[in-house]
Chains A and B, each alone.
Chain A
């Protein structure tokens, strides 16, 4: 079955880069997503990448995809205190739609802790 794995915690100093890693098992994954969840708030879509890409950059965020190793990472440049949150990796395989319309499979999330 589908499985998405993430480290539970990551601690970085303010101003440094954060790199959050994710591995997945479903080789038919079509889209991979990163969501952010702050305490008491809903899930916020940060970015996504199509499986035929290996990199996507969006302002401070860089997503790297190694499809051979089924490894996804999210790099946050110049990490700020406002980046403190839980980050979820998610994948869809488009089994029913042929695209990314199906239910997402999420990891357990990585708690990003910012040290001053």
Chain B
């Protein structure tokens, strides 16, 4: 098990362009989460999936953001018409089905997005 992986690790784009990030969770983890982290802040929750179903979306997730997990395995996060305020580290986490209701979330290394 190699842990949660994310691709790319770094992305530089011009304002107005679309970007897509990929996350591969730990195998057999049925829950997958997306967070955003800016400098000096803790991660902020964006959305999460249980298998292929998107169960929760934060109000931070504007209409320009869309996430998918089509086969219940990897997930993509797309940002359309990027703005400079979208510059951040985008983190993915996965968790197994929790015993006793606990769901330990394991994080990937993140994708750092810079919008110029």
A interface list, Cβ under 8 A from B: 4, 30-31, 33, 35, 41-45, 48, 50, 88, 90, 92, 94, 96-109
Contact = CB atoms under 8 A, between A and B. Distances in A.
A99 B91 contact: no
Q: Which of A35, A94, A100 has most B Cβ within 10 Å?
A: A100
Contacts of B98: 99-101
Contacts, number: 80
Interface residues of B, number: 32
B21 interface: no
B43 A104 contact: yes
Interface of B: 4, 31, 33, 35, 40-48, 50, 55-56, 58, 91, 93, 95, 98, 100-110
Given A101-B98, A106-B42, A109-B42, 10 more contacts: A4-B42, A31-B103, A35-B107, A42-B4, A92-B103, A99-B101, A100-B98, A100-B101, A100-B102, A104-B45
